[in-house]
Chain A
């Protein structure tokens, strides 16, 4: 029964075993965990960064934190959610270092956006990623946190050290800015 356990069932190690292995500082388990989650977390990291290199730096820092702090994961909520949270927070911290959070955009006169959603849906995700990366860091951050991660403005305000009203305003501007970029790429407003 057990003879093939180690040789063939690396991928079948359940999450609990992986976590315990990482707590023991087992490099093999750390690698398996990394292989399991790194593509998805790279996707998360890319949304907050301007380039792949930056995203990899964030991912590296995030996994260092994950391996160092994995024993603090109490099993409340999903493990993937915990990892994602670490990646997001690492990205926020990284952005915090690099630039001002909120750049004033020349979007004051942008109208209430409406969008050719079908055209956007047909776009490749990689292409959309490029568009998203064109957003100023502050807008990109708020947009990601609210639209993709699903945080409330109150939570975002807490994370970024601003009021929820500021978060709301920034999100609104971010969305308008995004539409402007989309328009630049040929997606017209309806």
Chain B
């Protein structure tokens, strides 16, 4: 008899079924996705910059070089051709026959051009210089080589330039001589706006000078490639740039990210999130290695935003209550009788999930270590490529 109870329960429960709540499967899937180890790689900043606005400024060297930079302003440009410091050889424009209209122009740019050109001549051309220039130059003895502080003057080179100048005294203004560390050549000066020259648009020199009396210069040492000047500084620029500069920039755009991990998790993220306008800010110290390469490092802040839109899962609430029921049983003694009993009934109610729209913001700071290479340098546009890492 004692086994009867087992048999009854076994028979009753062996195939007993009860439907679980709707939505349990979704819970299982969500829980599985959470449980798994999630590896997420985000490259937010890398893809952020679709459009960028850059602001930058160059910082003058505060070392003794600043003195040198000052020396190279137009006021003292007269001596520029003689300056061949250990650090730098400046290209020099030589021409003593500029068009009169340029000499008399009130345009500051023209003034720069004329004064600069004048500065390469030795006297007799002061009429080409503005009043201001005249005043300043009156205190400078044209016949004496400059005794620049803390610098040595290559007298031999000075002599060379002088000879070249003499040889070209009557040259065509359209065939001005330009000297660079690569040698001397002629350019059409009238086609060049000297005031706007920068280090990026120095005229390309193609035609070698031919009318120099080579016998006069043959014995003179020329600047060699091994000299320390490896950057052709601009002719028209009034200050000398340091190799060091600070660059600040800001960018805005739409940043995306790539997720990897469980498929369901990635799908869930991709279906609930969308990109929003994001911003990035950089403050870098830049060291120009040579004309094409520079190295940068600093701080990079990326403020990536994304829109989160989802509908939360339905909330199911269970409530238990006591319910009195009646049943008919066969009593061994009393026979068929009605009996009241109480059962616990579980009611459920479903509250629909809410639609949520919100913006998530991810702020990240990193230190970029970047090498930059110029690919194209035009008058207004330039193209460069960067390679490096962001640590942070």
Contacts and interface: CB of A to CB of B under 8 A. Distances in A.
Contacts of A128: 9, 12-13
A60 B329 contact: no
B207 interface: no
A89 B332 CA distance: 40
B16 A43 contact: yes
B22 to A, nearest CB: 11
Contact of B18 (A46, A67, A143): A46
Contacts of B17: 39-40, 42-43
B101 interface: no
Interface residues of A, number: 54
A52 B9 contact: no
Contact of B28 (A67, A117, A178): A67
B10 A150 contact: yes
Given A27-B264, A39-B20, A52-B318, A64 B346 contact: no
Contacts of B2: 112-114, 175
B329 A59 contact: no
A16 interface: no
A9 interface: no
Interface string A147-181: 11010000000000000000000000001001100
Interface stretch (B29-37, B177-185, B277-285): B29-37
A16 B209 CA distance: 89
Interface in A107-158: 112-122, 125-130, 132, 143, 146-148, 150
B9 A132 contact: yes
A173 to B, nearest CB: 13
A113 B28 contact: no
8 contacts: A43-B13, A47-B16, A114-B1, A115-B1, A115-B4, A117-B5, A127-B341, A148-B13
B343 to A, nearest CB: 6
Report, nearest first, the 3 A-B pairs whose CB atoms are least far apart: A43-B16, A39-B17, A147-B6
A11 interface: no
Interface of A: 25, 27, 30-31, 34-35, 38-40, 42-43, 46-47, 51-53, 55-56, 59-60, 63-64, 67-68, 112-122, 125-130, 132, 143, 146-148, 150, 175, 178-179, 185-186, 188, 190
B5 A179 contact: yes
B330 to A, nearest CB: 7
Contact of B12 (A56, A125, A130): A125
A120 B8 contact: yes
Contacts of A190: 332
A51 B264 CA distance: 31
A140 to B, nearest CB: 11
Given A59-B24, A60-B27, A25 B8 contact: no
Interface of B: 1-2, 4-6, 8-10, 12-21, 24-25, 27-29, 31-32, 35, 263-264, 318, 320, 329-330, 332, 339, 341, 343-344, 346
B329 A56 contact: no
Nearest to A128: B12
A39 B329 contact: no
A67 B28 CA distance: 10
Contact of B330 (A31, A47, A118, A129): A118
Given A52-B318, A56-B24, A63-B25, 5 more contacts: A64-B31, A67-B28, A116-B332, A148-B13, A148-B14
B329 A122 contact: yes
Contacts of B31: 60, 64
Contacts of A40: 15-17
Given A64-B31, A148-B13, A186 B329 contact: yes
A71 B12 CA distance: 32
Given A63-B28, A122-B329, A125-B16, A51 B1 contact: no
